[in-house]
Chain A
Amino acid sequence: MAIGDEVFGRFWALEPAREADWDALYADQLPRVYNYFRYRVGDGAVAEDLTSLTFEKAWVARNRYRRDLAGFSTWLMTIARNVAIDHYRRRRPHAPLEAAEHIAGGADPQQEAEQREAFERLSRLLHELPERDRELVSLKYGAGLTNRAIAKHTKLTETNVGTLLHRAVQKLRAGWEQ
């Protein structure tokens, strides 16, 4: 935003104090959306691409949510879910699992390598789950949503979400221990 708009906008007409702080909102929401895609499609460039696409879609219409920041977060996750659905529609059948080649900067390379390996293994197990279960796990452990919020997104009951997640984690655990 140009400074003329930013500051002279305030000269003429102060926005309400609850005007969104987009930088803060971006910082809050980026990890949530990014991890949702990591759990949903796997680690690497595709998760970043889908995260970018989600934010770009949301950004152009963000002013609808200038003050209702809680509404913005929910709306952003709805866009992310639709982006994921589109991604799978476009994707060729039996496409290989996205490579877990993305290396994040960190202090301990060995620990990072172990985490990367663990996540790669988890990704393979996640892809063996039914579509709905993988979505629930991604929303719960990737995006960090509560069961109640997931229920709102998926139109399931909160109890149902809890039950399905429990079963999904049991399946993952069984696969992990094999």
Chain B
Amino acid sequence: MDDRFLEELRREPDPGFGRALRERLRGIEDEATVKHSRLVPALASAAGVALVALAFTIPAVRVAAQNALDLFRVRTFAAVQIDESRVDQLKKLHDQMGDDPAMSVFDQQEVLQKPAPPIDYPSVDLAGSAAGLPGLRRPGEALPGGLKFVKATVDGEGAARLTVRTEKLRKVVELLGLSDVRIPDQLDGQQITVHKPAIVAQQYENGKASLTLVEARSPEVTMPVGTDLRQLGEIGLRVLGLDADEARRVAASIDWKSTLIVPVPATAESFRQVEVNGNKGLLIRCEDTKPNGDRRRSGALLLWTEGDRVLAMQSTLPGEDIVDVAQKLR
């Protein structure tokens, strides 16, 4: 008996046990997510990095005279690089704010439409029909690496109304050490409504690589008319870590009624604007690392819009490949 003998008696867990446990953990994951206010994923799920920034940068500007509300819809994306220290600060802030990160900025949350739980469908057409999204885009030819369709998942639409509290916002800004940032008093008590549309995610895999194509109508955020959106956008950019001059310059160059700010961590390999069938998109390339710091694999995320639809493609394929796949969608 020696070391080798003792080590060789190790054994892989039974595959059935491994799968069952993984499924059970996923169930725990889902429960935890539900507890954390899944209703407003556009706000709550982003809280890890940029909840506060979102609250500032997403509001609308177009005057919708019929209901006296400004309406925001995603038409284009703008990337803003965010450094690790600010990511850490925002994460800590999020942790301090308790169970529901949305409540770090808002008071009250009124559920207007409770989203149905995600449902898997065996075909893209069935999923599109269930989501009320006819004509879903799909790969026009064989995918690289022999990726095959696995399933299409529909995440139901939902809506919530939230009330802004400037006191909370000021605390957030203070905790980030942004002593020169001023929060407008008139923002207090304003209500914003977040409408998350039904989302379809098509999943393709080949055992090693994966690709997810997501499509939805633009999420909408409405808020009362009269707010200085450029000023709010500038504050949001400060929260993301831009200095005062840079935030002012960028805020002045953005169309705040249709541009979604995408904070890109400094650890991302690269990001650049690309064109997808005549539409401007944003390509972000990332790399994953093992616990020992070695590279494990690379991945890419492509965001673009087509008409009233917002699309995203996320894959472990190289960035150039997913742009190519996106160009060939039918």
Instruction: List residues of A whose CB falls within 8 A of some B CB.
Output: 1-19, 21, 23-24, 26, 28, 30-31, 34-35, 38, 48, 51-52, 55-56, 59-60, 66, 69-70, 72-73, 102, 104-105, 115, 118-119, 122, 137, 140-142, 144, 169, 172-173, 176-177
Q: Cβ of A17 and Cβ of B286 under 8 Å apart?
A: yes
Q: Mark B179-211, 1 if CB is under 8 A from A, else 0.
A: 000000000000000001001010000000000
Look across to chain B and name the residue whose beta carbon is closest to the beta carbon of A16: B265
User: Can you list 30 A-B pairs with a CB-CB distance of less than 8 A?
Assistant: A2-B33, A2-B41, A2-B118, A2-B155, A3-B212, A4-B115, A7-B212, A8-B41, A11-B260, A12-B43, A12-B260, A13-B46, A13-B262, A14-B264, A15-B48, A16-B49, A16-B87, A16-B268, A17-B288, A24-B296, A30-B13, A48-B13, A51-B13, A52-B21, A70-B292, A102-B14, A104-B11, A105-B14, A169-B6, A172-B1
Min CB gap A59→B, angstroms: 5
Which residues of A are found within 8 Å of B7, using beta-carbon distances? Answer: 141, 144
Residues 6 to 28 of chain B near chain A (Cβ within 8 Å)? 6-7, 9-15, 17-18, 21-22, 24-25, 28
Instruction: Give Cα A66 to B74, complex, Å.
Output: 29
- What 1/0 flags go to B35-79 for Cβ under 8 Å of A? 000100111011011110110000000000000000000100000
Chain B min CB distance to A77 (Å): 13
> Which A-B residue pairs are the 3 nearest by beta carbons?
A12-B46, A13-B50, A13-B49
Q: How far is the CA of A13 from the CA of B58 in the complex (A)?
A: 12
* Whole-angstrom CA separation of A73 from B292 in the bound complex: 11
**Chain A hits for B29, CB < 8 A:** 1, 59
A17 near B38 with CB under 8 A, answer no
By beta carbon, the residue of chain B nearest A58 is B25
A1 in contact with B42 (CB, 8 Å):
no
Given A9-B46, A12-B54, A141-B7, CB of A70 within 8 Å of CB of B28: no
- Cβ-based interface call for B3 (8 A): yes
A8 to B45: give the CA distance in the assembly, Å: 8
Which chain A residues border B25 with CB–CB below 8 Å?
26, 55-56, 59
| Contact indicator B1/A169 (Cβ below 8 Å) | yes
Point out the residues of chain A lying under 8 angstroms from B260, CB to CB.
Answer: 11-12
* A69–B296 CA distance with the chains assembled, in angstroms: 13
Residues of B within 8 A of A11 (CB): 42, 74, 260, 262, 303, 310, 312
What's the dominant secondary structure at chain A's contact region? helix
Q: Of all chain B residues, which has the CB nearest A126?
A: B6
Asked whether B288 lies within 8 Å of A13 as measured between CB atoms, the reply is no
Are B38 and A7 in contact, CB atoms less than 8 angstroms apart? Answer: no
Q: In the complex, what's the smallest C-beta–C-beta distance from B242 to chain A, in angstroms?
A: 15
Contacts of B169 in A (CB 8 A): none
Q: What's the Cα separation between A59 and B31 when bound, in Å?
A: 12
State whether the Cβ of B314 lies closer than 8 Å to any Cβ in chain A: yes
B301 contacts the other chain (CB 8 A): yes
A70 touching B42 in the complex, CB below 8 Å, given contacts A26-B22, A59-B28: no
List the A side residues contacting B214 at CB < 8 Å: 3, 7
Question: Is the CB of B267 closer than 8 A to any CB of chain A?
Answer: yes
Choose among B9, B49, B263 the residue with the greatest number of A CB atoms under 10 Å from its CB: B9
B6–A137 CB distance below 8 A: yes
B123 at interface, CB cutoff 8 A = no
